[in-house]
Amino acid sequence: MKTTLVTGASGGIGEEFARQLAARGNNLLLVARSEDRLARLANELAGKHNITAQHIAADLTRRDAPHDLFAETERRGLEVDFLINNAGFGSLGDFTSFDAARDEEMITLNVSALVLLTHLYLPLMRARRAGAIINVASTAAFQPVPYMATYAATKAFVLSFSEALAEENRGHNVKVMALCPGATDTNFFAAAEGERPPYRIMQTPQAVVETALRALDRGQSHVISGWSNYFMTQAERLVPRSFVTRIAGKAMRPFSEKSGR
């Protein structure tokens, strides 16, 4: 059965991908750690949209988790033709105040799990000459972000990796795209133990996912969600990188101080 696999589907942007894709008639496999939330969402969407929605509770910071997930999809006979690598988290604060183990978990989730899942599912999509992958990066992918140093670096990886794979797979009828949202109204800032940006600069997950699905339909290799985010990332390219980093540091320091780190 053709299935769309969404990681980080228990809330925020991942949940919204599930909602919009269910409305398009995609069968779903929802993955995150919060089993109750996944089960509730899968039931709701299956009932509303006449689709099959399944879930698997998994902690993708466990090194074996992507392999276990792949084995389970094979066992269930699911043909994953659309993979959305969305699960991720950030930390806000001075680098020296972070627990090294937490930073390592971030790199494992935001980078290693995403690469491994791509390794596992992309060859099958290529063999079928059909499929799509969306990797969720961030506007933080375009520049260094002081006080979110590791997070921004993971997202720079995701953007570069996705654009390269988009080109490699152009002739194989498999689309790969990086989604680069700016501040979005989700649980992200609470999870990062940081101050929420003012609501007026935040996008809704609905707007972010609509932008992503439109861009994927058009065959883009990356998309920046929201006009102000787009203009900001373009403007950054016109000035020296050191200047952009200095300004970002000044902007982020108050948020990091309020985070208590």
Ligand X SMILES: NC(=O)c1ccc[n+]([C@@H]2O[C@H](COP(=O)([O-])OP(=O)(O)OC[C@H]3O[C@@H](n4cnc5c(N)ncnc54)[C@H](OP(=O)(O)O)[C@@H]3O)[C@@H](O)[C@H]2O)c1
- Interaction site with ligand X (CB under 6 A): 7-14, 32-34, 58-61, 86-90, 109, 136, 138, 181, 183-184, 186-188, 191
- Is 155 considered catalytic here? yes
Q: Which is nearer to ligand X, 71 or 127 (CB)?
A: 71
* 151: enclosing H helix or E strand: helix 149-168
Q: How far is CA 148 from the centre of its chain?
A: 16
Residue 171 beta carbon to ligand X: minimum distance, rounded to whole angstroms: 29
Q: Which is nearer to ligand X, 20 or 128 (CB)?
A: 20
* Per-residue tokens: 238: 């016109």
Residue 58 beta carbon to ligand X: minimum distance, rounded to whole angstroms: 6
Q: Which is nearer to ligand X, 130 or 149 (CB)?
A: 149
Residue 196 beta carbon to ligand X: minimum distance, rounded to whole angstroms: 9
Residue 156 beta carbon to ligand X: minimum distance, rounded to whole angstroms: 12
Q: Which is nearer to ligand X, 90 or 240 (CB)?
A: 90
Distance CA 223, CA 212 (A): 7
From 186, 136, 193, 134, select the one nearest 12 (Cα to Cα): 186
- Is 151 considered catalytic here? yes
* Per-residue tokens: 107: 């790199």
How far separated are the first and last CA of the chain, in Å rounded? 47
Residue 82, SS3 per DSSP: strand
* Per-residue tokens: 61: 């910071």
Q: What residue is closest to ligand X based on CB?
A: 12
From 151, 230, 250, 258, active-site residue: 151
Catalytic residues: 151, 155
